[in-house]
Structure formats: structure tokens, C-alpha cells
Amino acid sequence: MVRLINARQANGDWFDMDIDGGRIVSIKNIHNNLKEQDKSTVPLMSVGDFAALPQGTVVDAGGRTVLPAAIDVHVHSRDPGLTHKEDWHTLARGAWRGGVIAVADMPNTLPATMTRSAVMEKAERARASGLEHAFFLGVGLGNINEIRSLLLDQELPLCGLKVFYGRTTGELLYDDLETLARVLPDHGEKVVVFHSEDQCTIDCNHQRFSRQLTETGNAAFAVHSAIRSSDAAHASTRTIIEWARTTYRRPIHIAHISTAVEVELVAEARARGVPVTCEVAPHHLLFSTADYERLGPLVKMNPPLRSPEEVEALSRLFAQGAIEIFATDHAPHTLAEKYADVAHSPSGVPGVELYYQLLIACSKRFGLSLDRAVAMATSAPANLLGWRHKGRLAPGNDADFVIIGDDEYTIVTQDVVSKCGWTPYAGWHVPCDVLGTWNCGRQVYSRANHETGVS
């Protein structure tokens, strides 16, 4: 057993933690100040693997903030099939750099994650990276009759079903909610996650604004927000929640919510007993349509950016703790792909490598307590995925944690470990950085050595 001392938690209290192998044995809140260091203590930053330390070693966090590591419930690994954008290896390194030790991956890879063999192929690639993972199964006409058996198959690392209720990157689309309710398992813990944008509204808007799609220049990208309008998101989220209330009645989750109206719909439904949660992505809090002029294709994503007023309303609800989960929707594309014209530039931005930095930036900027922000990154995602041994620093759980440095940090392109090699946040000042990440007691990232990888 190894004891970690002089660590601070999100609420500012101090704590000691006993770790054995990769697990937490006990954790104790301490209210006194920094303990005396003696020669036998080892600084936390130089501990590679807790399991390799002699029994009885005391590790000193030196008064640094030590938080549970994050779980990102929304990433696009691109592997298999689109590995010129990203692969499991680069995704793992990016995740660890952002303080993320586990991800839930979306099914729009090539092949799409819709069959047993596609799940197995992706699993093999993911395992080799060392990043903890689970996958969302995709649904379409081709596999609708198999989704029950696939979701109940204990051998497959599936954490739920992803329904693209509106079309986005890739060809996945499914909007027959009646059939879905009939074929989904009525037991088990797996959640159904929705990409919630109404395709009919989008198609109508597309006709209406089609002439503007031929315009050039960064500002022309604003038409993307007009086509995938807030109305499209509201209509779809309303329909999906109503379906969950009247027909499905099991846990559902709305991905990357971009409007305050939807957060309110989710909160109202939950108050009426509907088991629905939602997540927000950093770009929907930190950018608005006013940023197209400067960033153009680099901030084209689905759902798209909203007006500054809508972003302000969303951030107010974020500050009130009304959104359960913070997830990056890490969706890398190469710069060459992004700098196509408005109609052809693919939607999506990378983000996993900046997970904790952006979360804490949002919590400070909008006034959400660090405690609550950390819950959005850790315990709430673990609950969504049904991972009981992760997401909290608690006895019996995996020793997954990060050290957060509280010096201001300027984001640089080199932070992007992703193969895409760009970020819309380059040059941004954030109030902290991740100094080190541990997964099951093993250090997987050290800022001091600019190293990622399993020690």
C-alpha cells in the first residue's frame, strides 16, 4: 500500500489517499495544513507507477489540486477507416493530455459500428492503445433487428446505442422511434443517446438558404447555423423526450445540447420522472455565430454554433448546474478537409486533449463551482455508462486521477496530439493546465516530460 498525502480536492479541502496496485483503498479528508515533508516522501510528479513503489511509500502531492480523472462520453475515434484524421493511439495520447482516462466512442467510423464483427474489430484497435473505452452501437435499417441481441451481448464493449435522429458526418440516420421502442431491450443498463436535430427542418432550411451555400469567405459559414437552426434542435428534442415519456420509459441521453430551451425541456421532463440526461460540449459554451468571421470552417460542427444571446442563455444554465455532463464531441478532420467550401467542409472540432483545461475555464468564466464541474466530468459520466468502479475517488474504485496546475496556460497548436493538428482554441488563455494523469495507478501523462503513454 502507498499513501498519497497533501492533496487538495475540488472544494479546497485536503485529503490523504491509500492506493494498493491500481485501486483506492481508503481516502480521508484532512482539515489541517500541509504536512511536514521528510526525506522519505516521494513527490507525486515523479511517481510513474504506484504499483511499482515499495510498500509503505509516502507520496507527496505538495498541496496541488488532485481531482478524479475525466471520462469523456462523446468522442469520435475515426478508427477503423478514417485513420488519416485520428487513430486509437493518437486519441489515447490526446485524452491523457486532457486528463481523460476513458472514452465512449461514437459509431460513425468505417465500417460503422453496427455489427458484431465491426464492434470486435474496433475493440481490438482500441485495446492496443491502452485507453479505457466503450462504444456506442449505431442503428440503421440494416441492423435494427439485431440491436437487442448486440446490446445484451456481454462479450461486446458496448455502453449504449447512438441514434442519429438527424444526419451528420457519415451516413447514419434513424428516426423511426416506434420501431426502436419495440426492438430495444427492456432490461440492462445501456443508455440510448440521441444526436438531436430534426432532419425535416434541416432539409427545409437547406432549400431556403441553398443560394448562400455558394458564397465564399469565413463569414459565409454562418449559413450553417441558419440551416441547422435552433428550431431543428428544439423540435427534435421535444419529440424524443415525449417518446421517452410515453413509450420507451427507460434512460435516454441527449448529446451535445446547444440551446437553453433544450436544457429546460430535459429538466422539466426529469422533474416529471422521465429518465433523461444531457451533455454540453465546450464549443457551444465558448463560441458563438460571431466567431465564424474569425474562424470559419474551424468552428463548423453539428449541432452548429448559436447566436451570442443563445450562448449566454445556455451558459447561465450551465452555471446553475442544470446540465449533467461535459463532453467534448472530439471530432477531428484534417485542415485540408476543413478548408473546403461551406457546403463541403466537414463538421467537427477536436477537443479531448483540452478536456480539463476547457472545463475549468468554463467553470471560472460562468461561475460554476469546481466541485460541480468535476462531477460533470467524472461521476455523472460514470453513472451514464454504468461504470461503478470509476469516476469517484472512493475506496474500491480505480486510482484514476489528475494533478491540476493553477497557473494560467496559453493553448498552443502543439497541445493537439490528435492527427488533425489544429484547434480553434489556439492562443486562448485558460486558468490551469493538466500536469499529470494517472489511470489505475499508472502515470499516462506527464506535462513536465511532455510524455504520454503507459509508464
Q: Which residues touch 310 (CB under 8 Å, ≥6 apart)?
A: 230, 258, 259, 260, 288
Contact criterion met (CB below 8 Å) for 292 and 367 = no
Residues 6+ away with beta carbon under 8 Å from 290: 308
Residue 446 partner contact from Zn ion, ligand DOR, none using kind-dependent CB cut-offs of 5 to 8 Å: none
Candidate ranges 87-95, 96-104, 329-337, 349-357; the one touching Zn ion (CB under 5 A):
329-337
User: Quick check: 195 binds ligand DOR (CB under 6 A)?
Assistant: yes
Q: Which is nearer to ligand DOR, 171 or 408 (CB)?
A: 171
Q: How far apart are CA 107 and CA 75, in angstroms?
A: 10
Dihedral in degrees, nearest 10, Cα atoms 66, 67, 69, 73: -160
Residues in the interface with Zn ion (CB under 5 A) total 1
> Which set of grid coordinates corresponds to residue 34?
500541509
Exactly one of 157, 348, 351, 391 binds ligand DOR (CB under 6 A); that residue is 348
Residue 83 lies near ligand DOR (rule: CB under 6 A): no
Whether the Cβ atoms of residue 165 and residue 194 lie closer than 8 Å to each other = yes
Residue 262 in contact with Zn ion, rule: CB under 5 A: no
CA nearest to 170, candidates 112, 105, 103, 256: 112
Rounded-to-integer distance, Cα 34 and Cα 57, Å: 18
The verdict on 331 binding ligand DOR (CB under 6 A) reads: yes
Q: Binding to ligand DOR by residue 76, rule CB under 6 A?
A: yes
Query: Quick check: 329 binds Zn ion (CB under 5 A)?
Result: yes
Whether a cis peptide bond, with omega within 30° of 0, leads into 80 is: yes
Q: Give the E-state strand segments of 9-105 in sequence order.
A: 14-20, 23-30, 42-43, 58-60, 65-68, 70-75, 100-105
**Stretch of 2-10, 120-128, 326-334, 371-379 lying at the interface with Zn ion (CB under 5 A):** 326-334
302 lies in the site for ligand DOR, by CB under 6 A = yes
Residues 112-151 that bind ligand DOR (CB under 6 A): none
* x/- track of binding to ligand DOR for residues 236-255 (CB under 6 A): --------------------
User: What does 315 interact with, of ligand DOR, Zn ion, none (CB < 5 to 8 A by kind)?
Assistant: none
Catalytic-residue membership of 433 = no
Q: Which of the residues are catalytic?
A: 329
Q: Which residues bind ligand DOR (CB under 6 A)?
A: 76, 108, 168-169, 195, 301-302, 331, 346-348
- Residues of the shown chain interacting with Zn ion in the complex, contacts defined by CB under 5 A: 329
